[in-house]
Amino acid sequence: MKRYRNGEIWDFEQEMPVRIGSKNVILGLDGGTTTTVCICIPFSSDHQNTTLPADDRPPVLARAVAGCSNHNSVGETAARETLERVMADALFKSGSTRSSVRAVCLAVSGVDHPNDQQRLFNWLRDIFPHYVRLFVQNDAVAALASGTMGKLHGCVLIAGTGTIAYGFTEDGREARAAGAGPVLGDWGSGYGIAARALTAIVKAHDGRGSLTMLTSSILGLLDLSSPDELIGWTYADPSWARIAALVPVVVSCAEAGDLVANQILVDSVQELASSVKAVVQRLSLCGEDGKGCFPLVMVGGVLETNRDWDIGEEVMKCISKDYPGVRSIRPKVEPAVGAALLAWNFLTKDSYAEGYRN
């Protein structure tokens, strides 16, 4: 087992009393660009070869929270240190050590390529005992599992600061769409919606676009006196989440009848629906006749507004037209629990799902 360079991350294990017959546990980790959550659930060998029923919420022994673990945002060294610390923290809080761990599922944003998976897998391999089963996925997979209670089937649409659609078939094929960040066209995301609203203000100001209520609403919120000052505000801090936080203002303006804001939301709905449709089509999730049922797990702030202008509902309407068998699911547990349930399912049955595992 790996000893951390500075020795301190796993030091707690040496202070831990040795308990005979101590519980086996599973770690589920959801690593995002804003927050990383690790949860620890018990795993009893009595459950082997069974799966949790779909309405069962597993007991959570411990929950630990940390910051960004996307290597594209903070670099590989910082991302790994965050991941390692949050796993150690969850184990410490649950009164366990690495020798009690049966499986770890790491679902991290920025895992976009088999190379990313392989690198994280090799790194995890050095941290845990050889008998621990390890799984590395994109964080969208944990979000899907949080809606399907660990079953890898159907599609998930995440629309928060960023957006991605990810799908799995029952026979283990997978596909994704979007999730490439704002430079690479994630225009349906919270960042995309807000950036288009800021652009609309600039265009109204310089004569390229129609006047819009967004100008007074957003400048007022940001305490700026002129659209020219938006440039300084925008580039003073490159954080995508800071821009995405303006989405509720865009929704309010659209609800108040502003045509520019309304068009931005309509376009965002089209973009989000197009990501889901691309995944459904590539995987034939709706069967040969196009009418088969499949779950669509909807996650993220943009889809959870529950306002008059409900982006999530409009996305569902748009998808239902082409695929009437779509069934929307709003998860009852958080994605880190989804990651733990995935690991549970990988452990207890001969799983077909993709992912690096030993």
Q: Which residues of this protein are in contact with a copy of itself, per CB under 8 A?
A: 72-73, 112-113, 116, 175-178, 180-185, 195-196, 198-199, 202-203, 206-208, 226, 228-232, 234-236, 238, 243, 274-275, 278-279, 281-282
* H-assigned helices in 128-258: 139-148, 190-206, 214-222, 228-236, 240-244, 247-255
Which lies closer to a copy of itself via its Cβ, residue 76 or residue 304? 76
Which lies closer to a copy of itself via its Cβ, residue 16 or residue 202? 202
Work out how close the CB of 115 gets to a copy of itself at its nearest, in angstroms, rounded to a whole number: 8
Work out how close the CB of 228 gets to a copy of itself at its nearest, in angstroms, rounded to a whole number: 5
Q: Are 144 and 154 in contact (CB under 8 A)?
A: yes
Work out how close the CB of 50 gets to a copy of itself at its nearest, in angstroms, rounded to a whole number: 36
Which lies closer to a copy of itself via its Cβ, residue 27 or residue 177? 177
Token couple for 320: 């239902």
Which lies closer to a copy of itself via its Cβ, residue 104 or residue 272? 272
Work out how close the CB of 69 gets to a copy of itself at its nearest, in angstroms, rounded to a whole number: 15
How far, in Å, CA of 315 to CA of 305, rounded? 13
How many H-runs (helices) and E-runs (strands) does the chain carry?
13, 10
Q: Which residue has the tokens 């991941």?
A: 83
Which lies closer to a copy of itself via its Cβ, residue 59 or residue 232? 232
Which lies closer to a copy of itself via its Cβ, residue 93 or residue 203? 203
Of 36, 313, 285, 315, give the one whose Cα is nearest residue 152. Answer: 285
Work out how close the CB of 256 gets to a copy of itself at its nearest, in angstroms, rounded to a whole number: 23
Token couple for 128: 């845990």
Q: Are 294 and 337 in contact (CB under 8 A)?
A: no
Work out how close the CB of 247 gets to a copy of itself at its nearest, in angstroms, rounded to a whole number: 15
Q: Sheet harboring 36-43: ordered strands across? A: 62-66, 36-43, 24-31, 101-108, 133-137
Which lies closer to a copy of itself via its Cβ, residue 239 or residue 252? 239
Of 300, 292, 298, 303, give the one whose Cα is nearest residue 326. Answer: 292
SS3 content of the chain, % helix, strand, coil (to 5): 45, 15, 35
Work out how close the CB of 132 gets to a copy of itself at its nearest, in angstroms, rounded to a whole number: 28
Q: Which residue has the tokens 């895992």?
A: 111
